Amino acid sequence: MNRNPRYDILFEPVKIGPVTAPNRFYQVPHASGMTEANPRVRSAFRETKAEGGWGVVSTGALSIHPSSDDSPLPYARLWDKNDIRSHALCCDAIHSHGALAAAELWHGGASVMNRTSRIPPYSPSGISWAATHVGFMGNLRPRIMDKKDIRDVIAWQVAAAKRAKNAGFDIVYIYAGMGYLGYEFLLEEYNHRSDEYGGSVKNRVRFVREMIESTKDAVGNNCGVALRISLEELRSKSSDSHSSEAHEVVELLSDLPDLWDVKMDSSPTDCGASRFRPECAHEPIIDFVKKVTEKPVVGVGRFTSPDTMVSQIKRGVLDLIGGARPSIADPFLPNKINEGREGDIRECIGCNICISSWHDGVPVRCTQNATAGEEWRKGWHPERFETPGSDDSILIVGGGPAGLEAGLTAARRGYQVTIADKNTQMGGRLIYETQLPGLTEWGRITDYRLNALKTMSNVNLYLDSNLEVNDILGLEHSRIGIATGAHWTKALYSSLEIAAAELNRPDVYTPDDLALGMIPEGPSLVYDFDNYYLGGVIAESLALQDINVSYATPAGHASAWTIMTNELPFVHQSLEKSGVEVYTQMLLNDFDGKKVTLSNIFTNKPKSLAIKSVIIVGLRLPNDQLYNQLMSRSSEFAQAGIKSVECIGDALAPGALVHAVYSGHEFARQLDRPPDELYLRDIPIAESPPNKVI
């Protein structure tokens, strides 16, 4: 297929100082959870994006000095010769596909705790970030930088820039966003200085200016120099001479960097989940930058539509289309547009599981793309698949996320695949969940897989097929995948922080009951110890149906785990807007049909609420009955031609959608392979002796 001419503009080269990006697709810096401990994992992860057509592929944050230490969160370093070698591996891989490599040099300032280095954090005025996320909390307060400290940081930036150039990077960053050191100098809340680095905007911008100038001197004509800057707070501040302080800052620095990389200030607004932030959510904040500078501008907006990308360029919002999450969900997004296959794009659903991976301290995971982070470890490529090791036919029982992914991956390998589902449509739990507030885009999980499966001649799809053991034994399939999902229970929660006995009453419901169309009588209580999105979304959904609803949880926040996916502030805002009363740190002790009795999990202080129905969102258990029945008749497998039967997805171990998709993908990749092949273990590159004191 040929590229649609209306997308030609996306494939024009863009000059960035002394280097030229081959097209307008720019994988902006984003965390990957891949540090120097995983250089080969990191290299393959970034290389796949270059192979997929991204013209520029960036690192995540690279610490320039031990005083920028984000441990235990995973971050990369550019401190010494070993780090140069580690990053050179990645640069070489990116260059092998004709893309540019960009290094996001970074000093965290007062926003890091330096737990490993034990160096007091640096800051303009001793103001620390008082985080509410326990993973970012710390007790060591920052030092107030004197002039020598400022000179030191600039010298560390220069040294790191030279290392970046030696490693092979084509673009080198100065980071002045997201609460880190450069940002702290720009924002008056952090910067209380009375010297030439504080006070007026012109003074507050001085540190960033000196960082840019020194970096340009360090790399000369070898590398472009980019400024990554957050503009959300600055744009909200008035200026005596400009439309806002953001306008003033950009004008003062307008043509100094070779590239402007513009973004929001906090992770929840910068990387907003689709439930709360639409595509192009950044535009109202960053739309002015191209009017102030003649240098190219890159920005993000969870862009997956090529028409939206073209609009951003033609309307003068951006010069380069930045992608972080979309580049993870589909590393081959640019190539698919270039080849006229935009219908094959595996679109990001904005669930932010990728971001939670960084909070968890592990390599990035993706709900849509099970191969993310596994390119080197398992040899999984998002667009290439091993040929079959046999002529086995595959039967997948269940057409939810795990079953569809298993079937699609097996079919792409070349197996003959049948997927049978008992429902009248495929999708499993997503059939219900995508009807809930804000979750429509999650339907892309089903749509992408079904659309692909329906075009394949080696696939049969059957609905209304409630297969039983005798059916499976008679169908003559060689390998069986049981993807029958899981079910919610009415189990309560105990002070031991585990599920307890069930509360079995007709006025007690689970999400499965609501999915069947049951409507609880109000006032209702949603009791949530699942702690992810569903309890909060159900409470919001009931409120939108004019049901008086309250929400209770043993955790300290509503949908507490959504702090990992940047959703927590907006969850509470949505519940407040919907009129849902929230009770945290609560055990549900009893319910008699007229009231519930709660008690504080720590103090046992009781609380009663007038309630007529309860919805429990807590313990899920696998629907493994079919699997167990089949295995009880394993003596008949050989006669039926069955070589293996496996549980996959929630039928094996209930989890988030990302776990179900991964499980289905792994099932198909492992067909005809030894079961003990887990993954390759990466090791650091260490050619220089590690005994030198830094």
- Give the CATH number, domain containing residue 572: 3.50.50.60
For residue 523, which of 424, 594, 582 has the smallest C-alpha distance?
594
In a domain, 475, yes or no: yes
pLDDT band at 404 (very low <50, low <70, confident <90, very high): very high
**Mean pLDDT on 657-667:** 98
In this predicted structure, what is the pLDDT of residue 385?
Answer: 97
Q: DSSP state, 554?
A: S
In a domain, 66, yes or no: yes
In this predicted structure, what is the pLDDT of residue 318?
Answer: 98
Q: Is the pLDDT of residue 129 over 90?
A: no
Same domain, 594 and 654: no
In this predicted structure, what is the pLDDT of residue 36?
Answer: 87
In a domain, 684, yes or no: no
Whether the ω angle into residue 523 lies within 30 degrees of 0, i.e. cis, is yes
In a domain, 526, yes or no: yes
Residues recognised as catalytic: 180
Q: Is the pLDDT of residue 694 over 60?
A: no
Range of the domain at 570: 489-621
In this predicted structure, what is the pLDDT of residue 330?
Answer: 98
> What is the distance in angstroms between the CA of the first residue and the CA of the last residue of the chain?
55
Same domain, 355 and 399: no
Same domain, 603 and 656: no
Last residue of a domain, one of 360, 378, 402: 360
Cα–Cα distance for residue pair 222/225, rounded to 1 Å: 10
How would you class 597 by CB atoms within 10 Å of its CB: exposed for 0-12, middle for 13-18, buried for 19 or more? middle
Same domain, 310 and 432: no
pTM: 0.96
In a domain, 685, yes or no: no
In this predicted structure, what is the pLDDT of residue 672?
Answer: 87
Last residue of a domain, one of 561, 593, 621: 621
**Mean pLDDT on 448-462:** 98
Cα–Cα distance for residue pair 215/301, rounded to 1 Å: 28
**Mean pLDDT on 424-442:** 98
Same domain, 67 and 191: yes
Tens digits of residue pLDDT in 4-50: 999 999 999 999 999 999 999 999 999 999 988 899 999 999 999 99
Q: DSSP state, 439?
A: -
In this predicted structure, what is the pLDDT of residue 122?
Answer: 98
- As a whole-number percent, the residues of the chain with pLDDT over 90 amount to 95
Q: Is the pLDDT of residue 692 over 70?
A: no
In a domain, 522, yes or no: yes
In a domain, 365, yes or no: no
pLDDT band at 691 (very low <50, low <70, confident <90, very high): low
Q: Is the pLDDT of residue 457 over 70?
A: yes
In a domain, 661, yes or no: yes
Same domain, 454 and 496: no
The mean pLDDT of the chain is 96
Q: At 538, is the secondary structure helix, strand, or coil? A: helix
Same domain, 65 and 195: yes
Q: Is the pLDDT of residue 693 over 80?
A: no
CATH of the domain at 664: 3.40.50.720
In this predicted structure, what is the pLDDT of residue 502?
Answer: 96
**Mean pLDDT on 319-339:** 98
In this predicted structure, what is the pLDDT of residue 539?
Answer: 98
Q: How many structural domains does the chain have?
A: 3
Tens digits of residue pLDDT in 111-128: 999 999 999 999 999 998
**Mean pLDDT on 618-631:** 98
Q: DSSP state, 560?
A: G
In this predicted structure, what is the pLDDT of residue 134?
Answer: 81
Same domain, 634 and 503: no
Same domain, 325 and 466: no
Same domain, 52 and 28: yes
DSSP characters over 105-174: EE--GGG---TTT-PPPEESSS-----SSGGG--SPPPEEP-HHHHHHHHHHHHHHHHHHHHHT-SEEEE
Same domain, 610 and 630: no
CATH of the domain at 219: 3.20.20.70
In this predicted structure, what is the pLDDT of residue 130?
Answer: 79
**Mean pLDDT on 243-272:** 96
**Mean pLDDT on 594-600:** 97
Cα–Cα distance for residue pair 313/291, rounded to 1 Å: 13
How would you class 132 by CB atoms within 10 Å of its CB: exposed for 0-12, middle for 13-18, buried for 19 or more? exposed
Q: Is the pLDDT of residue 61 over 90?
A: yes
Last residue of a domain, one of 561, 595, 621: 621
In this predicted structure, what is the pLDDT of residue 137?
Answer: 82
- As a whole-number percent, the residues of the chain with pLDDT over 70 amount to 99
Same domain, 508 and 558: yes
